[in-house]
Chains A and B, each alone.
Chain A
Amino acid sequence: MDALAGLKVLDLTSHIAAPYCTKLLADLGARVIKVERPGGDSSRRLGPFLGDIPGPERSATFQFLNTNKESLGLDLATTDGREVALRLAKSCDLVVVGLAPAQAASLGLTYEDLRARTEAPVLEITNFGSSGPYRDYKLSDTVLFAMGGEMYSHGTLDRAPLKLGGTAALLQSGAMGAVAAMGAVHARELHGVGQRVELSLFATQINSIDRRSAAILAFRFSGRVQQRPVAATSGIVGGIYPTADGYVEVTASFGNYWQRFVEMVDDDALRDPKWLDPATALDPAAKEEADGIVYPWMLSRTKHEVWAEARRAHAMVAPLFTASDIVQDPVFRERGLWLDVEHQALGTFPMLGRPYVLEKTPWRLRQPAPTLGQHTDALLAEAGYGADEIAALRRSAVAA
């Protein structure tokens, strides 16, 4: 059984952030009806592509973000297309809208428009909110992290502030949307309230627990602004060290972490009590002496060998994995992080599997990401359209 069995969601979102919200719902069993614009979701054009061959069904971004969803090709800019969406909304338990406020208004798909046709909760995911001076401003992953996130203090002082890898900020904000969606679902099922829930991507980042919300409260408390450091150093021992084949991250500076680190390296010179003297931490010569022990130790081992020693000593040390490491890692594979997708057009390919293990209602892949318009006919019929009407909608390019 699926945790979100019986939950029907109308998904008027596109690109990366909000589709990740509905992916989380779909992957735990919700029926997610993804409305795709003519030509398909813009994420179908984002790489990387399977076999490096571009194509709307071959995008890794799209395949990842849309597992377990159903695709309805629909032109919302037409009167008939809008009507299809509103009819579907009536039968859904949740509507997730990812339209810009001006776009929702011009399409006639505002909260009020939807509320007139459905009692379901409506989650609106916008860049900056439905009002305010930035209402109509645009976002990218980088602009989102720059404004909302803690980009200002990420990187080094002499260079530009740095974003996170990939499209991390968009995906983080989308995940926050899934929490909001579940709040709306619980409130509906528990109290019978269908309501408007608004989530701005900007606000999710301002609240992020990656250092951002702490830096903001610290400023309010102390007046200190978190700067980028001059260099990524961290005490006598700490930070990122090179190994024979890569890198490891080391925390050894406080609590009993130093002791565990010393046990890991197992060099008597590090057992000298002088290392525990706070004054030593400020002595460049001591840092040089420690480096003289730690660097050769690290460089004579692979990152996996270092990690094995660290686990033995419970030291706070772990390797920097590449994407290939994540793909090939035997422990991740054995535990089930990866699975194979059987796709009707593409054959078999690997896919990231569950982000969590739910004992009784497991994450599962019921179907791969849909081909464009794969479920159009079935969904139109479900919305009450007869065969002739469906044919007419297709002829007029309202549906595809």
Chain B
Amino acid sequence: MSANLPLEGVRICDFTAVWAGQSATMYLADMGAECIKVENPFIWNPMTRAASPRINAAMASVLPPWIAGHPNGDPGPRPWTNSPAFIQVLRNKKSFTVDSRRPEGLAIVKSLIRISDIVAENLAFGTLEKLGLDDDAIRRERPDAVILHMPAFGRSGAYVEGRGYGAHIDSVSGSTLLRGYADTAPGDNVQIFAGDFWGGVHGAFAVMAALRHRRLTGEGQVIELAQVESTAQMFPQAALDAAWNGRDAVSVGNRSIEGFVPNGAFRCHGTDRWIAITCRTDAEWVALITAMGRPAWALRAELETATGRAAAESEIEERLEEWTASHDLYSLFHQLQAAGVTAGPVMTAQDAVEDPQLRQSGAWTSLLATADYPETEFGAPPYRFENSDVGIRTPPALFGEHNEYVYLDLLGLSDDEYQRLEADGHIATAFDPDVVARA
């Protein structure tokens, strides 16, 4: 039976780095595109395969888990094959190596572009151009290519030379100022990379739309997704309030901009356990105070409406937390939902992996052990297709894992040519030791 893959027959020549770009091509690979990651043994692309090629157990132990929680705390000799931050965006992909800065390497890249449908990149502005791979050069090889550029700040205008990671994209798009506590300075805001998630999803969507146009008309095109412009749309209420009413939204902490009162995260019994509660309607408020045993303070008539509750929001939050603090998180979660109150635990990673709903809905896929990580479970794509095999079909690509496939099967090089390129360092399954030492 056919796998009915939505992007069957589509090949990506993938130059993406970090999270936004690599996740965009990950979504496309999940959908069945053959995504070939172009890697260079002589270049360490920061924040693309690991925090550092030289990260060791001691360094890992002082860095945050999300970036350095390697298997058993030990990155081992090849941190780029077991980084928790990066191997997941390599699922369903293939990896081959080439030093594209040398003429024969560039020729290899061009021959791959010739048989690719998509060229994707989010490198610093000008990086591909310096290699000799501007849009015109790409289209000389592949006139109907769909070219995805994901610059941080745009490919025209005064910000082209700006450099940034997720934190800077969140900053310029307005996200950082909107997500602190209401009463602390923005300098205390903790990083989270909402814009990476957003940019990757939008990049994949735009490419899928362009591919439909291409299938119907034969016409490729260039897509420019300036990540800050895209991510600014994650906060339309704030942007339009400024544009329409001249008002600058400020951070409201955990309060709702939808007029829901109460809305927030409240301490539960135990160590650092929190429940999120939202009263989306007046009926949910009644259900909440009923669950609380109808305490006298909550029975005031003015609290029956959201407007009335908004006037007493701080008091409600304090009283509510006095109540939640004596309750077990998960018992309270199920009790409140059963009573019709919108509520849920603030889930740690451990809560998530043990969660029965996620387990039952197929959120995880088993991943076999490799030399660099033990057997584990991996987040599956978040959608279930009834008749298409949209899931994890191949594990995260190892560095250079598909060299033979790309050079011999796809590009049709001879064994002699392969050996020559291997001898010249283009073809490798590890980074050059000098690169590792310098990075």
Contacts and interface: CB of A to CB of B under 8 A. Distances in A.
B390 interface: yes
B352 interface: yes
B76 to A, nearest CB: 11
A102 B55 CA distance: 50
B387 A195 contact: yes
A110 interface: no
17 contacts: A140-B280, A146-B265, A150-B66, A150-B192, A176-B382, A185-B6, A191-B2, A195-B385, A195-B386, A213-B379, A214-B86, A219-B348, A221-B71, A226-B349, A240-B176, A319-B171, A352-B233
A184 B212 contact: no
A251 interface: yes
Contacts of B382: 176, 199-200, 203-204, 206-207
Contact of B172 (A176, A232, A321, A338): A321
A142 B265 contact: yes
A222 B72 contact: yes
Q: Which 10 A-B pairs have the closest CB atoms?
A: A165-B178, A218-B69, A146-B276, A219-B349, A140-B278, A60-B240, A182-B208, A186-B6, A323-B242, A318-B168
A265 B30 CA distance: 44
B274 A161 contact: yes
A323 B164 contact: no
Contacts of B180: 162
A322 B346 contact: no
Interface in A159-215: 159-168, 171-172, 175-176, 178-180, 182-187, 189-191, 193, 195-200, 202-204, 206-211, 213-215
A351 B276 CA distance: 32
B237 A60 contact: yes
A30 to B, nearest CB: 9
Contacts of B237: 46-48, 60-61, 64, 166-167
A293 interface: no
Contacts of B244: 48, 50-51, 60, 349-350
Nearest to A218: B69
Contact of A311 (B46, B162, B186, B238): B162
Interface in A78-136: 128-129, 131-134
B84 A337 contact: no
Contacts of B383: 176, 179-180, 183, 197-199, 203
B162 A361 contact: no
B317 to A, nearest CB: 10
A265 to B, nearest CB: 15
Majority SS of interface residues in chain A? mixed
Interface in B337-353: 337, 340-350, 352-353
A195 B70 contact: no
A153 to B, nearest CB: 8
Given A1-B213, A142-B254, A209-B23, A165 B236 contact: no
Most chain B CB within 10 A, of A1, A251, A312, A330, is at A251
A166 B254 CA distance: 10
B197 A187 contact: no
A142 B234 contact: no
Interface stretch (B34-42, B245-253, B308-316, B412-420): B245-253
B240 to A, nearest CB: 4
A316 B165 contact: yes
B126 to A, nearest CB: 11
Interface in B194-233: 194, 196-198, 200-206, 208-213, 215, 217, 219-226, 229-230, 232-233
B190 A229 contact: yes
A230 B5 CA distance: 46
A391 interface: no
A47 B266 CA distance: 26
Interface stretch (A32-40, A241-249, A267-275): A241-249
Given A218-B84, A219-B65, A209 B357 contact: no
B91 to A, nearest CB: 11
Contacts of B221: 358-361
Contact of B240 (A64, A163, A247): A64
Nearest to B52: A254
B426 to A, nearest CB: 24
Interface string B85-111: 111110000000000000000000000
A28 B5 CA distance: 23
Interface in B51-68: 51-52, 64-68
A218 B82 CA distance: 10
A211 B192 contact: yes
B241 A60 contact: yes
A392 to B, nearest CB: 33
Contacts of B185: 242
Contacts of A210: 166, 192-194, 196-197
Contacts of B341: 138
B175 A355 contact: no
A7 B223 CA distance: 21
B358 A249 contact: no
A155 B183 CA distance: 13
Interface string A333-377: 011011000000000011110111111110000000000000000
Contact of A351 (B240, B258, B384): B240
A52 interface: yes
Contact of A167 (B6, B246, B258, B350): B258
A63 B95 CA distance: 44
Nearest to A204: B382
B209 A361 contact: yes
A251 B167 contact: yes
Most chain A CB within 10 A, of B164, B165, B212, B254, is at B212
A47 to B, nearest CB: 7
B266 A183 contact: no
A203 to B, nearest CB: 4
B192 A164 contact: yes
Interface in A215-271: 215-222, 224-229, 231-232, 239-242, 247-249, 251, 254-255, 260
B193 A3 contact: no
B360 interface: yes
A147 interface: yes
Contacts of A155: 181, 190
Most chain A CB within 10 A, of B204, B266, B385, is at B385
Contacts of A197: 383-386
Contacts of A294: none
B156 A162 contact: no
A286 interface: no
Contact of B223 (A153, A200, A331, A358): A358
A281 to B, nearest CB: 10
A356 B204 CA distance: 11
